[in-house]
Amino acid sequence: MRIKFCGAAQTVTGSNHLITTNSGTTILLDCGLFQGRQAYIDQMNANFLFDAKQIDYLILSHAHIDHCGRIPFLIKQGFKGKIYCTSATKDLCEIMLLDTAYIQEKDNEWYNERRKRKGLDPIPPLYTVKDAERCLKFFVTAEYETVHRINDEISFQFRDAGHILGSASVVVFIQDRGKETRIGFTGDIGRWDRPILRDPETMTDVDYLITESTYGGRTHQNEPDDERELTELIQQICIEKGGKIIIPAFSLGRTQEIVYVLDKIYHHHKLPRIQVYVDSPLSTNATEIYRGHGECFDEEILKHIRTDPDPFGFGGLTYIQDVNESKALNTLREPCIIISASGMAEAGRVVHHIRNNIENDRNAILFVGYCAEGTLGARIRNKPEYIKIFGEEKKIRARIEIMDSFSAHADHDEILRFLNPLDRKRIKKVFLVHGEQEAQQKLADAMLAQGYSNIHIPNYGEAIDIDS
Ligand SMILES: [Zn+2]
């Protein structure tokens, strides 16, 4: 048997691992997009490290683009198998893949314009909206906990990863001449005691473990109290100063968490009502899918729903799809909260809102998640005196606030907690994926100290033979 690491190897995007059994059956774990604007990333996205036509099955951990974003391309390249995921993941994939396809078409038009000026022929986008629509019929849903039998040789089980709606860790059971081998794949590990989603179900015993390592060596803020922190900020900015709070937030997960926290603040009458706008079509659609998947909710939100049936809607909250309504927010004089994508503020409507509000000292820009190096979000978080937005130099007068407690990713200690019940003696090998080198090394050291052995950090494209 063999595992080939075809993405998210010593980096955090492009999750894609290929299991080939002794009988030749091929199972992909995730089919994610590599993210970034460099030319070599485009190259990696456009070249699978396997023949898509030869792949039998895809098991998908969750609907983040770095885990599912190359599915339309996989199908374009000839994959004809089934794609297994949870029901919420399937619904989220539909909007995420269509949105990504649309962005790719737009980026490609711009790119081809530049090629044309250089006298070069146009090249097609990685995939189109049509390709994304076509891939939806390949999805087959599977609920959590049940062991699903694909055939005599392969079964798998999803367990709630508590990362985003529908997210799962996966255990693949492979039968070979009367012997069973279990391969565990964490997907992205979520967090305990977070709003909306249930806590992660820890990993069950496996023979081989593929674990994410994003936050190796790093810990999140202790016992975050989102409700209190957000209440204080709204009090200081919107009520005392009459200003606006701009929140760049990922459409999927973070936006719904903030809306739910605001819903609770207003439901409990902790503050006078301030107008709240969710200004992003994708966020609006994603929220609609959250509403339809109560089976993924934790006890706390289910209890809340008994007195407030819509945890993602309250008086004063407006979801904006239309671009003209979005532009109209520029002229608003009253205090308000604008939640808009993208989370790293490198694109999307939120960049306009930041540009329009960052020079006013009554306002605040609130960051609620990770911003990759080089993005506008990361640059603003460093709190320089001036920042360039759309080529204009802006003096930063607005308050810059950071609440990283909203992170959907387990930190160093939480990864170890997720893995802790595992029988160390049973595991033949541990593979660390989905992390930068330094984070991976720190997690490897901590795991060695906790009794795990045989830890390996695979290279991109590395294939490793494993015993059945
Ligand atoms: Zn994720």
- Residues in CB range of 86: below 8 A, 6 or more apart: 141, 142, 143, 144, 158, 166, 167, 168
How far is the centre of ligand 1, averaged over its atoms, from the C-alpha of 122 (Å)? 33
3-state DSSP assignment of residue 103: helix
How far is the centre of ligand 1, averaged over its atoms, from the C-alpha of 395 (Å)? 34
How far is the centre of ligand 1, averaged over its atoms, from the C-alpha of 51 (Å)? 25
**Residue type at 84?**
Y
How far is the centre of ligand 1, averaged over its atoms, from the C-alpha of 36 (Å)? 16
pLDDT score for 39: 84
State the DSSP H helix or E strand holding residue 72, giving kind and residue range, or none if neither. Answer: helix 71-76
How far is the centre of ligand 1, averaged over its atoms, from the C-alpha of 287 (Å)? 17
Q: What count of other Cβ atoms lies within 10 Å of the Cβ of residue 453?
A: 12
**Residue type at 461?**
G
How far is the centre of ligand 1, averaged over its atoms, from the C-alpha of 159 (Å)? 15
Quick one: how many helices (H) and strands (E) in the chain? 14, 22
Q: What count of other Cβ atoms lies within 10 Å of the Cβ of residue 240?
A: 11
**Residue type at 57?**
Y
How far is the centre of ligand 1, averaged over its atoms, from the C-alpha of 66 (Å)? 7
How far is the centre of ligand 1, averaged over its atoms, from the C-alpha of 163 (Å)? 7
SS3 content of the chain, % helix, strand, coil (to 5): 35, 20, 45
pLDDT score for 299: 97
How far is the centre of ligand 1, averaged over its atoms, from the C-alpha of 393 (Å)? 34
How far is the centre of ligand 1, averaged over its atoms, from the C-alpha of 257 (Å)? 15
How far is the centre of ligand 1, averaged over its atoms, from the C-alpha of 188 (Å)? 5
Contact 418, 411 (CB under 8 A): no
| Closest to 123 in 3D by CA, of 110, 136, 135, 108 | 108
**Helix pair angle (281-291, 254-267), 10° resolution:** 70
Pairing of β 208-212 and β 336-340: unpaired
pTM: 0.93
How far is the centre of ligand 1, averaged over its atoms, from the C-alpha of 294 (Å)? 20
How far is the centre of ligand 1, averaged over its atoms, from the C-alpha of 12 (Å)? 10
| Closest to 258 in 3D by CA, of 293, 226, 220 | 226
Contact 390, 355 (CB under 8 A): yes
3-state DSSP assignment of residue 305: helix
pLDDT score for 372: 77
**Structural domains for the chain:** 2-218+408-465 (3.60.15.10), 226-406 (3.40.50.10890)
Residue ranges, the chain, pLDDT below 70? 222-224
pLDDT score for 225: 81
316-358 confidence digits (pLDDT tens):
999 999 999 999 999 999 999 999 998 899 888 999 999 999 9
3-state DSSP assignment of residue 260: helix
Say how far apart CA 157 and CA 73 lie, in whole Å. 26
pLDDT score for 38: 80
pLDDT score for 269: 79
How far is the centre of ligand 1, averaged over its atoms, from the C-alpha of 409 (Å)? 7
How far is the centre of ligand 1, averaged over its atoms, from the C-alpha of 6 (Å)? 17
pLDDT score for 221: 72
How far is the centre of ligand 1, averaged over its atoms, from the C-alpha of 357 (Å)? 30
Structure tokens at 181: 């081998």
How far is the centre of ligand 1, averaged over its atoms, from the C-alpha of 31 (Å)? 12
Contact 105, 93 (CB under 8 A): no
| Closest to 3 in 3D by CA, of 444, 452, 430, 334 | 430
Please tell me the total number of residues recorded for the chain in this structure.
Answer: 468
How far is the centre of ligand 1, averaged over its atoms, from the C-alpha of 458 (Å)? 20
187-202 confidence digits (pLDDT tens):
999 999 988 999 999 9
How far is the centre of ligand 1, averaged over its atoms, from the C-alpha of 62 (Å)? 7
